[in-house]
Copies of this chain bind each other. A is one copy, B any other.
Amino acid sequence: MDQVSTPMESYISYMLAAAHRAVHQTLAARLKDQGMQVETWRILEALDSERQLTMGELARTVLMNPPTLTKMVDRMVSQGLVHRQIAASDQRKVNLLLTDLGRKRMTEIRELVRLQDREILAQFDPQQVEVLNRVLRDLSDTAG
């Protein structure tokens, strides 16, 4: 795969898109074998770390727009991975909770993701990894 050297590579938005796409696609392919989508796993993972996440909080965490999340959660509910619970404190809010199946699937998939992470990071030295994390974190705050 010889990627032709174009001036495109001088734009950060492009380089980020390219790197993201490559990493996302390999991960997606692996998870697909397990009948799992990257975004679906991300939701499960987020629900595991913070308990009692509302739809809004979750949307921000998993980088989705609210309508997209609502529809994806609908599918996940019908797959038995999560269930909705109206918050007691505020009836407008919806808390999402993992089912046992959801937690089980999440744990399995998590290992695959960590494996890929290790494979990917193995090609860089620790300083590079540190800079990457630092910079990506700062870039994430670029937008509101």
Contacts and interface: CB of A to CB of B under 8 A. Distances in A.
A108 interface: no
A50 interface: yes
15 contacts: A3-B60, A6-B46, A13-B117, A16-B19, A17-B24, A18-B63, A19-B20, A19-B140, A21-B140, A22-B140, A22-B142, A23-B139, A123-B138, A132-B132, A132-B135
Interface string A37-65: 01000100110011000000100111100
Interface string A111-131: 001101100110110011001
B120 A142 contact: yes
A88 interface: no
B22 A139 contact: yes
Nearest to A7: B49
Integer count of this chain's copies in the complex: 2
Contacts of A87: none
A36 to B, nearest CB: 13
Contacts of A25: 143
B12 A16 contact: no
Contact of A8 (B15, B61, B116, B135): B61
Contacts of A8: 42, 45-46, 49, 61-62
Which A-B residue pairs are the 4 nearest by beta carbons? A19-B139, A22-B143, A18-B140, A20-B20
A60 B8 CA distance: 12
